Amino acid sequence: MGVLWSFVRYSGTIHRQSRPPEPVFSVNHVPDLTGRVILVTGGNDGIGKETIRALLEHNAKVYMASRDQKKAEAAIEELKDKTGKEALFLKLDLASLASVRQAASQFLSLERELHVLYNNAGVSNTPIDWLTDDGYDMTFGTNIVGHFLLTQLLMPALQTGKITSPDHYARVIWLSSFAQYLSPLDFDAFKDTPQRRRTGSDIMYCQSKLASVMLAREYARRYGEQGIVALSVNPGTYLACSARGHIHEHSYATGNIYTGILRHASKVNLAFTKLFIKRYPVEYGALTQLWAGTMPEALTHNGEYVVPWARIADRARSEAYDDQICARLWDWLENEVKEN
């Protein structure tokens, strides 16, 4: 009943985010980004690729950090044809902490500065048997554990980037979703435990998106005075979550933009979504994180949750404002990613 109750409790907020007014902000408002170094994880498809396209068009130097080099190189070539600018490939598998460390080391050997980090990549609805190389739930491990380690390792470049940024800030943008409203965190489910298997991959996705909101707030709290701005973003993407009780199972599928993240979604969720949910072009999906990562107005909202299309949310899930839970998540992640 947890997800059903959460859906009812936050139904008004979810509805406002899934049926937003037409955007006021557009890519034409993005300032000139000459001299900015920006890294986008998972940018070879969907919202990430559209974000990179806009960044290139505004003269940023962009790294596309992706697991699949062949797909990334194809996307880079496509974007070059469209923009006349070329993104740079960085090999990154967020489901492997060794790969994250290697990617961060490679980036730091190439660049002293990083002005914006988009923690954009993510998976959802993965088979429950899938684990990361380090034994974490595939969804939570990819979406959160890998990104946390990457952000920590790139903090020296972010600290240097703020010095040369025209606004004297560096930014970390965490991709979230209105899935974050549907489940609190269960620390016993992050690894392969009986609790995780009872929870299911759909709810693990919801938990990962709440963790994104919490980490943005925690980064703002810990690094805000050092010139680091962190925001979480609901770009308007699909979510699919199931509420499993002892007797009934209720499935909810709600969303706005169709991207590659749907590749593991069930046929039932896909069918429901196509029938009942208003759809928007993928270009809309990049708007909110472009605003968060480039616009001066975003600097006054450090730690906040941004929703379609480039609006500050009235609220996130209540646990996101609990400093003790946010600190517990931070401490857990720090302990998990430290090298022995």
Residues with active-site annotation: 176, 205, 209
Q: Which two tokens stand for residue 158?
A: 């972010």
182-185 long-range contacts, Cβ below 8 Å, gap at least 24? 182/3, 182/6, 182/7, 182/10, 182/206, 182/239, 182/241, 182/252, 183/2, 183/3, 183/6, 183/207, 183/210, 183/241, 184/2, 184/210, 184/317, 184/319, 185/210, 185/211, 185/214, 185/319, 185/325, 185/329
Q: Is the peptide bond before 309 cis (omega within 30 degrees of 0)?
A: yes
Count Cβ atoms within 10 A of the Cβ of residue 277 and give its class: 0-12 exposed, 13-18 middle, 19 or more buried.
middle
- Residue 184 is classified by DSSP as -
Cα separation, 31 vs 28, whole angstroms: 8
Task: List, in sequence order, the alpha helices (H) in the chain.
Answer: 2-9, 11-18, 46-57, 69-83, 97-110, 138-140, 146-153, 155-164, 194-199, 201-223, 267-276, 282-294, 323-337
DSSP assignment string, 230-273: EEEE--SB-EEEEEE-SS-EEEEEE-SB--GGGGG--HHHHHHH
Q: Which two tokens stand for residue 240?
A: 């699919």
Q: Answer for the pair 30, 54: CB distance below 8 angstroms, yes or no.
A: yes
CB-CB neighbours of 9 under 10 Å: 14
